[in-house]
Amino acid sequence: METAEIRRRFLKFFESNGHTVVPSAPLPAIEDPNLLFINAGMVQFVPYFLGQAKPPWDTAASVQKCIRTPDIDEVGKTSRHGTFFQMNGNFSFGDYFKEQAIRYAWDLTTGSVESGGLGLDGEKVWATVYLDDDEAIDIWHKQIGLPLDRIVRRGQEDNMWSMGIPGPCGPCSELYYDRGPDYGPEGGPEVDEDRYLEFWNLVFMQQERGAGPAKKDYEILGDLPKKNIDTGMGLERMASILQGVDNMYEIDEVRPLIDKASELTGKRYGLSTSHTASESHPDDIRFRVIADHVRSALMLIGDGVVPSNEGRGYVLRRIMRRAIRSVRLLGYDKPALPELLPVARDCMSKSYPELAQDFDRISSYAYGEEEAFLKTLKHGTTILDTAVTETKTEGGKTLSGSKAFELHDTYGFPIDLTLEMAEEQGLSVDQDGFRQLMTEQRQRAKADAAARKTGHADLSAYWQLLQDQGPTDWTAYEGLATESRVIGILAEGKPVPVAKSGQIVEVVLDRTPFYAESGGQHADAGKITGPNFFGEVVDVQRPVKKLVVHQVRVLEGELVLDDRVEATVDAEWRLGARQAHSGTHVVHAALREVLGPTALQSGSFNRPGYLRLDFSWRAKLSDETRSEIEEVSNKAVRDDLPVSVKYMTLPEAKDFGAVALFGETYDETVRVVEIGGPWSRELCGGTHVSHSAQIGPLVLTGESSVGSGQRRVEAATGMEAYRYLARERDLVSQIASELGAQRGDVLERVRAILQRSKDAERELAGLQAKLVSGRAAEFAQNAKQVGAVKVAAVQAPEGTKGGDVRNLAMQIRGHLPEDQPGVAAVVATAGGKASIVVAANAAAKAQHVSAAALVKAALSGKGGGNDDVAQGGGVPADQAPQLLDAVVRAIGE
């Protein structure tokens, strides 16, 4: 049975049993500050389990896309660890409980295929329960008929479920399937979890846990408001059982990637005769890493994550580079993702058709990241070659752990490649030292993560206000002022009855015209006033859906709960915000018109007079392209295109051609902002002008890279654009005045001045070089005898260039007696740094005096060159004399 069919049957079964089918939330955990990614099927339902919000349905079912990365290094080594996976779940919010949850799980999994079930053999199903959960045991044994010898009691670590942080939890019952003696010894899940494969976890969500270790020894704070059900059936695990394959990597959504990688590399998958993943051949593990990570990258980019050096983007970058590295270790050194990613798309688009529709954008990020990483490998190879040479020069046979760690941490150079390439050159690597440094880094990362993991953010005060007072009557689209009532005042997150002058508090009104920051648009500014009160609104947010919270600086008087006030948005601020947000849409449409449909927005920010927009593109924009984008944008402004708003369902919006921001969560009804008909259609909740001419002038002020395959444009709008152009005009006028030239002649006059300056610098440098080299004989004449060696230790004039320093050292060496060992050492300072060049004559080399060794002695092992001439630098300029002293001492020793 195909994985997509298992997914379909699961949703159909629960829908036919009265559950509402809820779409998967995007992989980035945007609404939970404690998570980078959605890592369980129940994450989007947490507020309902905690009683912080009323669920729209009593029962629900979903197939949630999930990412788990803590065990990323175990991927491929076991049949259980995968980065991306899909979690089938059914949920009850105070409706049914243990008995019905167990019955649903049994009926679906053991029901016949013909009747819509999954057709598992009930004689091979085992169940585990929490230690003291006699009720669950009775249900399994007396109602389902499961023998007591296939029901196992287990402790808190195994059968008490939570997200690993403070929040909802409860005892659980896990279902396992016996895959037979080929997979391990008999005896149930406690004996072997490869043979007995867990496929469904029924969580009886009834308690709230406190802080403590992730899986055990934490405090149970009390009962939840209602008894709930949260179940999770691993879709990939069920597929591996029904498809009769050894592990999740060999199911129909993953195995084609292994086959393609095998075709590319010429290596065969399945070299191990064991059914157990942990006993696999190293090549088989690499094939699984490739398959898992390429699929995970596809899904992450599809949900709006892009490669970067922090947060979610770093996780994506890491798994992509692990996949590329694994392909390389299997012997394929060409770009692999253009071959592999389309295979992943074809596997996953049966369940997620948007992946095929959006593949141009997804692939542009993926291919750009691989291209960048291959350059990193090339650069890292050069650095590694230098490190190997230095190690050999010093007579060493082991590359230091610190150098291997530097290559890995700073340059992204995989340790496997370091080991492989060092071995090719006859060196080993201090792996213990490397592992120690990696352990220290992981400990620092875990400490940082622990500091972030404080549990589900305490939004209880906001939820309580929403529950007691209802949603905010939000009128931002309709006007700039409202008569309102104060329904909540909070100081440091706690309700208070009054706010006094000098305080900054959060104020909740029953009605407000203020725009709360969202969708890239900055919050409105303005004021709240009353008979005895004046306050400045400095920020506006929605900490929970449908509740608008104003951050207010109290300037005069007191604000008391239940006061009648007037809330007024700054009209100039709102006009600038509307211009900037509509300008963002215009620039986005212009980018797509000029660059093509793959130049899709991946993020934006706008405030009055300013906008920035990030988009997928792999190359720097030329001046001509920037000018064209600016011209297309301003033509749209000039044409005074109508701006309209339509409300429709999300599927209707997609059919309408509206562009959605990847990774965002949308309600069932969405708002589409249209500028000039089909030219610009975007899902957007922001405030906008009514005609494009109201945007005013639009000027691109910057363009830069913000990550692999991602660019950013910045622009000024409205009066800020006018002021920007005025400043540019005034600057040109001032330069023209200083030059005594017409404005149109300024560029040629500046070019002529620059050329004269370059010519003068070149002439000056030549004169200085002649002056310095002309003293070479004098410097050689003043050389001192150090043991058997004549040493000319010279400090060149300030600013002497690197090439001139080297020439001077060689010229001094040429003036030293040929029949006597001689060394010229020249230091120079420039830009606050000192450098040194050492040149040794033939007689010195015959006495085993090496220029390279002398430079390393002066620079504590740094520098490069050979016995004839060597150089190095980078130390502070005030250390220049010590460099010469170090060379003299080394010769004397």
Reading the block at residue 594, the tokens are 């000029």
Split at pLDDT 50, 70, 90, the class of 32 is low
Q: The dihedral of CA 588, 592, 593, 594: what is its sign?
A: positive
Lowest-confidence region among 525-539, 703-717, 765-779: 765-779
- CA dihedral for 138, 142, 144, 146, sign (positive or negative): positive
| Long-range pairs of 624-631 with CB within 8 A, sequence gap ≥ 24 | 625/594, 625/595, 626/700, 626/703, 626/713, 628/594, 629/587, 629/590, 629/591, 629/594, 629/595, 629/700, 629/713, 630/590, 630/698, 630/699, 630/700
Strands 643-649 and 504-509: unpaired
Picking from 559, 564, 567, 565, the residue whose alpha carbon sits closest to that of residue 497 is 559
529 contact partners, CB below 8 Å, separation of at least 6? 535, 565, 566, 568
Q: Which residues pair with 53 in a beta bridge?
A: none
Dist CA 151 CA 145 (whole Å): 11
Mean pLDDT of the 837-859 span: 90
Amino acid type, 257: L
Q: What is the pLDDT of residue 579?
A: 97
* Residue 428 vs residues 331, 401, 402, 740: alpha-carbon distances, Å: 21, 10, 13, 68
Portion of the chain with pLDDT greater than 90, in percent: 56
203 pLDDT more than 80 = yes
Task: Give 140's DSSP letter.
Answer: I
pLDDT at residue 453 above 70?
no
| Average pLDDT in the chain | 89
| pLDDT computed for residue 877 by the predictor | 87
Residue 528, Cα to own-chain centre: how many angstroms? Answer: 39
Measured between alpha carbons, how far is 66 from 88 in angstroms, rounded to an integer? 10
pLDDT tens for each residue of 595-637:
998 888 888 999 999 999 999 887 899 999 999 999 999 999 9
Confidence of residue 451 (pLDDT cuts 50, 70, 90): very low
Distance (Å) of CA 513 to CA 508, 537, 547, 710, 744: 12, 12, 13, 35, 49
pLDDT at 168 > cutoff 60:
yes
Name the band, by pLDDT with cuts 50, 70 and 90, for residue 493: confident
* pLDDT for the residue 663: 58
Residue 172 bridge partners (DSSP): 203
Averaged over 840-846, what is the pLDDT?
Answer: 91
Distances (CA, A) of 875 to 519, 709, 830, 836: 48, 36, 11, 10
- Specify the DSSP class assigned to residue 165: S
CA distance 11 to 20: 9
Taking 80 as the threshold, does the pLDDT of residue 594 lie above it? yes
Torsion of CA 859, 862, 865, 869, to 10 degrees: 0
pLDDT at residue 717 in the model: 97
What is the mean pLDDT of the segment spanning 75-102? 90
pTM over 0.85? The answer is no
**So what's the pLDDT on residue 21?**
95
Are 315 and 69 contacting, i.e. CB atoms less than 8 angstroms apart? Answer: yes
| 278, pLDDT greater than 70 | no
Measure the CA–CA gap between 520 and 585, rounded to whole angstroms. Answer: 12
C-alpha distances (whole Å) from 594 to each of 357, 683, 885 are 21, 21, 62
User: Average pLDDT, stretch 23-28?
Assistant: 91
Give pLDDT tens digits for 660-677. Answer: 876 566 777 899 999 999
pLDDT band at 273 (very low <50, low <70, confident <90, very high): low
**8 Å CB contact between 731 and 721:** no
What is the longest distance spanned by two Cα atoms in the chain? 106
* HEC per residue, 10-33: HHHHHHHCCCEECCCCCCECCCCC
